[in-house]
Amino acid sequence: MKRRKILSVLLVTVMTATMLFGCGKKNDTPADTTGNSSGGEGAANTGSTGEAADSSEKVTVTFMLSGTLATEGEDFETEQMPRLVEKKFPNVKVEVTKLPDDQYYTALKTKLATGEAPDFMWVQPRYAGVNAVFPLAEAGYLTDLSDLKAAELVGAGVKDFTYNDKIYAIPCGVTFLGTYYNKNIFDKYGLSVPKSWPEFENVCKVLKDNDVQPIVMGDKDMYVMQFGLYQLAANMIYPENPTYDDQLRDGSVKFTDEGTWDKVLERYGSLYEKGYIQSGSLGLGASQAIQKFIDGECAMTFDGTFNLQAINSSGAADFERGYFPLPGNEEGEQLYTAGAPGAGPAIYSESENIDICKQILEYWFDSESDLYKAYESCGKFVSTNEGAVVEPLYEDFMKLYSEGNSWYWCNQAWPAGTENEMEALFGEMIGGAGTTVPDITKGMQNKLEELLAE
């Protein structure tokens, strides 16, 4: 009887142990352990950069990023990139997971927390968002890419991915915020591209007086408020104080200081007050606003180069599109654009495929490679590589950028969450909830201090 009891206890213990170990991590081997012949991952980790690519053993490289799939033609990241990498490195298979922004942030955090992060991950410059490069580098999740040739090829944008003098990601050129406009409507009313704020106001007034809705915005998706505000800030804050955001962090300036963000918010708010941006914008989503623009129901919309494909889609009206930087400058002052280095790939520090990933990056950002050409032609960013072909729509922007008359997007220097507070409070103001400009700047300052304290 006793023997049977012992046997039952033993059996239960073995079952439980089996179950628990079965649920455990698949591979606890540290990343720096040299692999043996049992798998391609080990082979990729032998320390020699050439070995992995030359090996006949299969290596699977995982890549996770945010974004939406291309609606027309092949999607670069999920279709072209794996195909071209596999063509160049026959033993490498690339598994790509592309998720909407919020799902990507959640998935990335979970995977990082469990030590199962993908080999390649998509990161944003500085402190921009959950997948910002600086906090990830600080936490030790990213591989130092300073030794890559690719880092030299992509231009000045790489400094926004440099933390403690080490480069942690390769940015994809630059992305701009600007104003898409309907050239046919502009021509009809004899309007030209405005070069200063008074000129811009005049354009809006002429359109409004002729019963044309000047600007449409989908503020229900509150992030679109940043598109206009950052362009104004690029003209009204940074030219006077290039280190404004650094000073915000050390407390020597505040959002509440007069003549800074209060002016930006007032200026942008005036577009709503005067009816230049359609009333009830808080009930319209971003994609619905783009639809109204391409249907020819209004003359302009603030958006980024990243949305060119949607802006160029055919709608109810057939018209020529134009794009100009929103001029927040006064008459006779220099015009600045809001241009930020685009997000780019980084390599997980505990990846077992670091060497092959580095080789893929070198191939990806080599201007002569098929992969880079495919990347450049996907149109989501403006290439800053030497000799790159610039889309005619972006020529003015590139000119300003190459002359140094461009500022990054404000939120890239703020702790994530500050911009959300700004959007929510600005939404209250334009929605008539009684919130004022000083309430917004105070709210932004409080949120900034709270986030910095953490």
Residue ranges binding another protein (CB under 8 A): 5, 8-9, 12, 15-16, 19-20, 23, 102, 105-106, 109, 112-113, 130, 135-136, 138-139, 141, 219-222, 280-285, 288, 292, 415-417, 420, 424-425, 427-428, 431-433, 435, 446, 450-451, 454
Torsion sign, CA atoms 44, 47, 51, 56: negative
Closest CB 187 distance from another protein, rounded Å: 26
**Strand blocks (E) in 11-53:** none
DSSP classification of residue 387: T
CB 430 within 8 A of CB 276: no
- Hey, what are 318's tokens? 């057939």
Nearer to another protein, 392 or 432 (CB): 432
Closest CB 159 distance from another protein, rounded Å: 22
The enclosing H or E element of 297 equals none
Nearer to another protein, 136 or 248 (CB): 136
Nearer to another protein, 291 or 305 (CB): 291
Nearer to another protein, 234 or 444 (CB): 444
Closest CB 426 distance from another protein, rounded Å: 8
Place of tokens 């495929």: 353
Nearer to another protein, 83 or 208 (CB): 208
Closest CB 120 distance from another protein, rounded Å: 17
Nearer to another protein, 41 or 219 (CB): 219
Q: Three-state DSSP class for 411?
A: helix
CB 198 within 8 A of CB 330: yes
Closest CB 277 distance from another protein, rounded Å: 13
Which of 142, 77, 188, 106 has the alpha carbon at shortest distance from 349? 142
The enclosing H or E element of 204 equals helix 197-209
Closest CB 121 distance from another protein, rounded Å: 12
**Strand blocks (E) in 291-362:** 298-304, 321-324, 337-341, 344-347
- Hey, what are 264's tokens? 């930006």
